[in-house]
Structure 1
């Protein structure tokens, strides 16, 4: 038998070559694609506006160095502020130091005397440069200092107490021993306003020394009589622990509060109102739902009106309420129910005209849009509508009754719905919305002084960044600088290629990008790797130009792979309510079928993709998803790298699990009596209890593992606790599965420095072994030895 094996062993290399396996990993090329950002320079214009004018200046850096420009939108002009070589020479003649004109170090940059005089500091020296005659003069600090240090009449300060003063200085409030004290500045009479403050239930939570008098985080009303304070009760919240393993001496314990899905005790948020004249607290009916979330909002500076938003723990109902401090009345202005949960990423609202009108964002029609209410909470009209999604408001013009806002999904059929375009719409909703930035790209805008013009920086993953100035009709009035990507392209770097596939339902479009090796050969056969993040609050699909998406997908592709990323149902909240809530109640499985289905379509579409060699990787939610995919479809995925994965969402944070999987108020005999509106400032304490949701975990899938799994965790991760990864490890050991594990000491949820570099290469190695069948890295005793050896061979 052994003789027979040896006889035909020589055929194995030929078989591997013919089947596309046994390829050599191109680590050398992958290394070249790390840290390319320095070759790019500036990619967007940051305007520095001139007071009282729509003019602005900006700094822009390309491979030719840094230049400074002045822009006049009204005239439609842009000009360079100065001759770099000339200015650099004049600065050197004063400082007696050599200067590189391509990188003049200017700080404290400003324009004065009708934009004719440039003021700045360089090499510790202050200068003025007259742009009219190109004369440089040194500004001597002594003369400036003397001007600024003119003695002022000494006034006796009235602020003899430490604390927060009322607008008219009649009262001051200070904190001590976690409680609040009121002092009348007229007669120094002191009143203890609260007595129930304590650690983790404090009116002065930022104070490290509770016995010391501190300035509390309270807010006065304009009437100088009332003020409010927010307080959170964390006394019963469960704790988590991490051990600080790096550093000198003994490892130490890091203890922190952490609420998990279904916890009986969670943070209780409170709003307290006080009447300084009456020297007491005002009763407020703030509490309505058990464990409600509370956010406070105000109108006016100083505060004229007080509001708060309370939201159910189940995240499907909220109310905007107004507080009347004179009586303690709480009035519900807007009540909204949104099943199964509110879109936290896009929801917001704005007060207009001192609270006389309210602009409210809602997904009540299935797409997010803006609605206008009067100050009493009566709906006036929809401001936007249509089969697309309104995003954040960038500017509100109360004079012309217009809003300028981001919008998604306004492109033609088949276009990615994720790109933000700037729109404008009337308060009354008449005439619909007008698109001001029509290009298919992500637009980020900055309005200039006066609001008649804005700077528009736009790009997408496969479109070079561009910057322009537009007027409020969307017309381009000035073309600004664009990046010089010559050096980047010379490395072989190329933009990813966009593609569209169908979800597993055969109907829903999924949008993504593909990265290829620079030596790509369409006649060859490549493994495919999917970079994933399941959402629901975002997706892994890049929306703007980037040299290194994810953990540098472009570099990973150079090892010898086709790398892709695309959305899945249950992902981005930028589309519509159905899409981003698709995974509700199924927090583990919802994106998996779409990822498999999408890869199958790409393999069918492109002959260079090998469907028998499929990898998957992701971080955080992507780490959780990649492990679930490998264990759910063990005959489809070959290898996975899962970093910082929340493999057991029952011990991940309360927001993720309860919002996106669900939590229900218990009913029947086990339910407690439902609360009535509270008649004090304290939250409603007695309420219906909640049913703890059970969230399926990756641990349950461990027995199905067939492929090659690398699990990674930072031991200082206080977001996704390393116990998530260790429980997955324990489950795999108990069912006798082989896998690899990497722990990064001292690393939190985001990997940094040498640990990040080490992790990247370990990921390359893992996929090279199991998708390319290249085990050459096993011979290296140092992580970067392969680079040195490769360099020696080619020199």
Structure 2
């Protein structure tokens, strides 16, 4: 057994001054413990071990200082334009980074630590001293997001060990699937991973890294950990895709023991669920619905998931009497002929299957989530409004979106241009083959932000299918957009794949009718992203429409004026009539 150093008796303050890390004793005397090279500095947060024998100081590199500028052309209360600037890192820019440095408290001696396992961090976080002070652990997310590790530093020797090493050929979805729990009173850790091809939980020895077992497994996913009970050694989870024959995106609740035994489904109705626990955690209110099923509230027993009684059920008959029609769920095979692709159809209330109707897809293919609604709503916003103009409106989750298998998600890897279009087109053709009244010679598409990028890409790559598009505030070149979102899916360093997915680079391929919308004051997606598309289209001698909204922020296409222009555009291009024209 290793002998551990006791905490020093004399109070010592650790502080930084410029590039120097110093120790100051009670009498004010200072000693330099370490000096950093030019361009580096120390952070002010020192992390001491529980026994006081060691501490961690953080070396920092400041990163880049890119600034985005825009001109507010028409500020209220003034006739003079205003220049605005704000910090905004983009893919490939230098980023702030930090690294742990290990020191003895009693002597101030630095214990050398190799950075081989954490040399290029996007982030180092979830840092923690073991209760006995023997090791310091942290989660290392490598820039490019293909490597995520739980790293352990031995307090006496400084040796770094990868307790958990996720090192794959594509992204580790740290934004939605990075979850870690240190089990109290144990060396065990619980860890979320897609190493099996599906997002599940694993139990791992926190000292050796040995996999002690899968907590969950199968061709379904764990979406969230709601609660961890270390004393009872059980977890409360949100899961999806576990019920055969049900929409795999529906959220259900379940309980399971740390060792994978005792799995209990706490919800079972065919819909997406929300659970509210009673104060004594013996019962729960289960609220569930579906896009085509009004909400139901049930009281359920948490010990076995059994339904005690139904407390309430919404009655949609009065709504239906107005002519309202619930969206229709539809499933078809994707590009590979085997994978189910799920979507919904918003029908016009006066839909007549004996005559052809143009079709519009509302698209958002961002890989961070799925995007087709799953819960009941009386009104689905823009989709419902377009449907009442005589369009059949669809929403589809193609490959590349989240919360299916890892392979399903990986389609987006370094390939945001794909946007799931082969799956979407196959789905639409299957829908038209079984539902008369759809005219696939008049298909439009619209979206905002990543959806704006997707909508324009439809006309660049699939202009033989999509005929008209409205692209609002699109991130049309991922090199111009915010760093975190784009490097997560497109990785780092910048390579030819960024250019391959750029709408700017491929603007000359435009087919069909296009309306670009941008707010000049967008602070989410740089407005230059849209204006660079405009420049490329002008140079390619392409016809298109452009709406710039002075003072408008992100999503200006959804403003009253922007949305009216969107609806008018589709009426002209797909119905081929003038909006609000006299009969």
Scaled to the shorter chain, the TM-score interval is 0.7 to 0.9
Matched residue SS, 1:353: coil
Task: Say whether 1:597 aligns with 2:401.
Answer: no
Cα RMSD, aligned residues only: 3.5
Shifted more, 218-227 versus 634-643: the winner is 218-227
Does the 8 Å CA contact 2:127/2:139 hold for their aligned counterparts?
Answer: no
The residue aligned with 1:742 is: 547
Task: Say whether 1:392 aligns with 2:196.
Answer: no
Specify which of 339, 348, 355 is matched with residue 524 of structure 1.
355
Task: Say whether 1:426 aligns with 2:280.
Answer: no
Task: Say whether 1:765 aligns with 2:568.
Answer: yes
1:342 Cα offset (Å):
1.6
1:640 Cα offset (Å):
0.7
Give the Cα separation in 2 of the matches to 1:495 and 1:173. Answer: 64
Task: Say whether 1:695 aligns with 2:499.
Answer: yes
Q: Deviations over 1:637-691 (max 9, x none)?
A: 2211111112112323444444434557xxxxxxxxxxxxxxxxxxxxxxxxx86
Does the 8 Å CA contact 1:457/1:467 hold for their aligned counterparts?
Answer: yes
Give the Cα separation in 1 of the matches to 2:170 and 2:386. Answer: 38
1:736 Cα offset (Å):
1.5
TM-score by length of 1: 0.64
Give the Cα separation in 2 of the matches to 1:405 and 1:170. Answer: 45
Task: Say whether 1:409 aligns with 2:241.
Answer: yes
Task: Say whether 1:382 aligns with 2:202.
Answer: no
1:332 Cα offset (Å):
2.3
1:598 Cα offset (Å):
1.9
Give the Cα separation in 2 of the matches to 1:661 and 1:389. Answer: 23
Higher strand share: 2
- The 1:169/1:708 distance shift into structure 2, 3 A limit, reads farther
Q: Deviations over 1:4-28 (max 9, x none)?
A: xxxxxxxxxxxxxxxxxxxxxxxxx
Task: Say whether 1:583 aligns with 2:373.
Answer: no
- The 1:194/1:354 distance shift into structure 2, 3 A limit, reads farther
1:231 Cα offset (Å):
6.0
The residue aligned with 1:222 is: 50
Does the 8 Å CA contact 2:449/2:555 hold for their aligned counterparts?
Answer: no
Task: Say whether 1:715 aligns with 2:524.
Answer: no
Does the 8 Å CA contact 1:368/1:390 hold for their aligned counterparts?
Answer: yes
Does the 8 Å CA contact 1:259/1:266 hold for their aligned counterparts?
Answer: no
Alignment of 1:536-685 (within 5 A): 536-549=367-380, 552-572=382-402, 574-663=403-492
1:468 Cα offset (Å):
3.3
* Count of matched residue pairs: 568
Matched residue SS, 1:323: strand
Alignment of 1:139-218 (within 5 A): 186-187=26-27, 203=42, 216-218=44-46
Does the 8 Å CA contact 2:192/2:201 hold for their aligned counterparts?
Answer: yes
- The 1:389/1:235 distance shift into structure 2, 3 A limit, reads closer
Task: Say whether 1:464 aligns with 2:294.
Answer: yes
Does the 8 Å CA contact 1:662/1:693 hold for their aligned counterparts?
Answer: no
Does the 8 Å CA contact 1:238/1:257 hold for their aligned counterparts?
Answer: yes
Give the Cα separation in 1 of the matches to 2:107 and 2:30. Answer: 13
Matched residue SS, 1:648: coil
Does the 8 Å CA contact 1:266/1:291 hold for their aligned counterparts?
Answer: no
Does the 8 Å CA contact 2:507/2:533 hold for their aligned counterparts?
Answer: yes
Does the 8 Å CA contact 1:641/1:763 hold for their aligned counterparts?
Answer: yes
Does the 8 Å CA contact 1:242/1:718 hold for their aligned counterparts?
Answer: no
Max radius of gyration: which structure?
1
The residue aligned with 1:233 is: 61
1:427 Cα offset (Å):
2.0
Give the Cα separation in 2 of the matches to 1:450 and 1:522. Answer: 54
Specify which of 170, 194, 199 is matched with residue 340 of structure 1.
170
1:510 Cα offset (Å):
0.7
The residue aligned with 2:338 is: 507
Does the 8 Å CA contact 1:218/1:228 hold for their aligned counterparts?
Answer: yes
Which structure is richer in relative contact order (CA contacts within 8 A, separation 6 or more)?
1
1:490 Cα offset (Å):
6.8
1:359 Cα offset (Å):
0.9
Unaligned runs of 5+ in 1: 1-165, 205-215, 665-689, 780-789
The residue aligned with 1:321 is: 151
TM-score by length of 2: 0.86
- The 1:232/1:451 distance shift into structure 2, 3 A limit, reads farther
